Amino acid sequence: MRMTKTPLTVLAALVAVLAAVAVAMIFFVAPEDADQGLSQKIFYLHVPIALTAYACFGLAAWKAFRLLTTRGERYDLESYTGVHQGTIFGALTLVTGSIWAKASWGVWWTWSSNQLVLFLVLFLFYCAYFMLRFSLEPGPRRERISAVYALFGVALVPVSFLAIRLASDFIHPTVFTRDGPQMTGEMFAAFCVAWAATTLLAYVMYRVELAGKRTDANLRELREVLAQ
């Protein structure tokens, strides 16, 4: 069954179930980390949110690519909504990461971590997307320029994701290595459920926001027709 055909209520209910299971697994099944103790529990929230932000930017780039190749107008709103969701989850990544940094390293932020700085660059790049988009008149030109920007931005995603592997970074921990996840089976299971819940939540939010924006556009058109 295609996700786009699944009713929103079913998906929203699934998010609620997955979130409840994730919280139970994080706090009652996954053991406490030997190094960081309780503060490591933030990992189950912070990393899925960051991965979801990457996925949203990836989705926005895919929709932008579809717009540029097919000229389908609907892809413009879809790409814009993807960037919007990605930026929201990006902001959440920075906030939860900052709280985790304070709990683990004793500082809210450090400029010496490539992972942190590159994620901030990625976030600011996508913030600039909105400035660019709203500085242009609505129409095909804005759609094309926004799509090109969203498409270029996605190049920063693998750079940000691989930053701690491309350069030696001793501050930000590397949990997923070539040898697999560096955690116990219960921890990994809790992480996977939390990741699924966060991704599905973002998808539900994407669908709701997109429906709102489409209704807005349809209403605007209807108002223009009735005003004639």
Partner 1 sequence: MSAAEKYVAAAYGVFLVFVLFWVVIIATKLSRLERETGELARLARARVAAGEPTDG
Give the residues lining the site for partner 1 (CB under 8 A): 37-39, 41-42, 45-46, 49, 88, 92, 95-96, 99-100, 102-103, 201, 205, 208-209, 212, 215-216, 219, 222-223, 225-226, 228
**Shortest distance, CB of residue 172 to partner 1, whole angstroms?**
16
With respect to partner 1, which residue has the nearer C-beta, 44 or 149?
44
Choose between 41 and 63: whose C-beta lies nearer to partner 1. 41
Task: Give the closest residue to 194 by CA, choosing from 14, 2, 21, 13.
Answer: 21
d(CA 84, CA 75): 14
Q: Contact 68/112 with Cβ under 8 angstroms?
A: no
CB of 86 to partner 1, least distance (A): 14
Q: CB-based contacts of 200: which residues, under 8 Å, 6+ apart?
A: 11, 14, 15, 18
CB of 197 to partner 1, least distance (A): 11
Tokens of 182: 């560096």
- b/e map of 75-106 (b: 16 or more CB within 10 Å)? bbbbbbbbbbbbbbbbebbbebbeebbeebee
**Of residues 169 and 209, the one with the C-beta less far from partner 1:** 209
Rounded Cα distance between 44 and 159, Å, is 22
Q: Which residue do the tokens 């599905």 mark?
A: 200
Of the two residues 94 and 122, which places its CB atom closer to partner 1 in the complex? 94
Q: Residue 150 is encoded by which pair of tokens?
A: 């969203």
Half-sphere exposure of 24 (CA within 13 A, CB side): 6
Q: How far is the CB of 52 from partner 1 (least distance, A)?
A: 11
For residue 81, the Cα-to-chain-centroid distance in whole angstroms is: 11
Least distance from C-beta 42 to partner 1, angstroms?
A: 5
Nearer to partner 1, 48 or 153 (CB): 48
Decide whether 9 or 168 has the Cβ nearer to partner 1.
9
Smallest separation (angstroms) from partner 1 to the CB of 166 = 27
Nearer to partner 1, 147 or 201 (CB): 201
Kind and range of the H or E run holding 146: helix 140-153
Cβ–Cβ under 8 Å, residues 215 and 207: no
Least gap, CB of 39 to partner 1 (angstroms): 5
